[in-house]
Amino acid sequence: MRKFLKNHPVVEAGFWILVVLIFLSYQIALATNIIFDKSPSKKIDVWVKQKVAYTGKGAHLTLLLNGPRIDYQRQILNVRPEVFDHVKLGDQISLSVHTGALGLLWFDGSWSKVPFDEKRP
């Protein structure tokens, strides 16, 4: 494949343009989901199942959440450091979320801890 691309510079350029467009389309879809979202925020109570911090180009802080009102019963959510640092595994928290213009759930930054509930899933 490499030899073919090196021997055909137009095809190689087209390949790399396609790769960049695929990456940009994902970012544009995420931005469109938030920018054009007119849905009201709703509070959902969830439990923190896992905390993951990893670095690459900047730190990424994610929570794996579980709750009865989250689609598919599990949701990975990128959060700010102030949220990530204040929650522990097993904490029940209330998040303010929006459904998104494209149907992708997004967190608007508003949250609070909820008193412990025995009815955990």
Mean pLDDT value of segment 46-68? 75
Q: What confidence tens digit (pLDDT) does each residue in 18-27 have?
A: 999 998 998 8
Question: In angstroms, how far is CA 45 from the centroid of its own chain?
Answer: 17
Question: Which DSSP helix (H) or strand (E) runs through 17?
Answer: helix 9-35
Nearest alpha carbon to residue 98 among 40, 28, 47, 29? 40
- 25: buried, middle or exposed (CB in 10 Å: 19+, 13-18, 0-12)? exposed
pLDDT of residue 28: 93
pLDDT in tens, 9-53: 888 888 889 999 998 998 899 899 999 999 898 888 888 888 888
The structure's pTM equals 0.62
What's the token pair of residue 42?
Answer: 């709703």
